[in-house]
Amino acid sequence: MTATEKIVREFWRLMGTNDFYSASAVLAPDFVLDWPQSGERIRGPENFAAVNSEYPAHGPWKFRINSLVAGPDSAVTDVNVTDGAIRARAITFFTVANGKITRITEFWPDPYPAAENRKHLVERIK
């Protein structure tokens, strides 16, 4: 396991504690998070922790890594996220330097119904 993979796995483990201030410990002081779909940028570990702490939830957040691909200084994860009521999927691109996450670009795709015209060619997945 590479150092980058270890820090990304630790990030998701810490996120699963729901103590987002402890999760921010793996972020660099000049950390930046971009959410392109909503056009938002979050700067700094403190703001990251505050945004996550203030987000309304029905219960504790749980994170399940479906896939993780890591190189020397970057990684991508596909993660299922739930608070027991909300179920979502996040595709997250990480940049890592000096043992800290310096940048995240994260996409939250919404599910949509499959097209009827290809029903005879596909299998349904859940």
Position 93 scores a pLDDT of 98
Q: Cβ distance 76 to 94 under 8 Å?
A: yes
Is the entire prediction scored with pTM above 0.75? yes
Q: Running DSSP on this structure, what letter comes out for residue 99? A: T
Q: What are phi and psi of 24, to 5 degrees?
A: -70, -10
Question: Per-residue pLDDT tens for 36-56?
Answer: 999 999 999 999 999 999 998
User: Domains of the chain (ranges plus CATH)?
Assistant: 3-121 (3.10.450.50)
Question: Per-residue pLDDT tens for 68-125?
Answer: 999 999 999 999 999 999 999 999 999 999 999 999 999 998 888 888 899 888 888 8
For the chain, the average pLDDT equals 95
Q: Is the pLDDT of residue 126 over 80?
A: no
Position 48 scores a pLDDT of 97
Using the structure block, give the residue that is written with the tokens 């994260």. Answer: 106
Question: Per-residue pLDDT tens for 6-41?
Answer: 999 999 999 999 999 999 999 999 999 999 999 999
Q: Which two tokens stand for residue 120?
A: 């005879």
Position 87 scores a pLDDT of 93
CA angle 42, 45, 48 (to 5 degrees): 45
42-45 contacts, C-beta under 8 A, 24 or more apart? none
Q: Which helix (H) or strand (E) holds 80?
A: strand 74-82
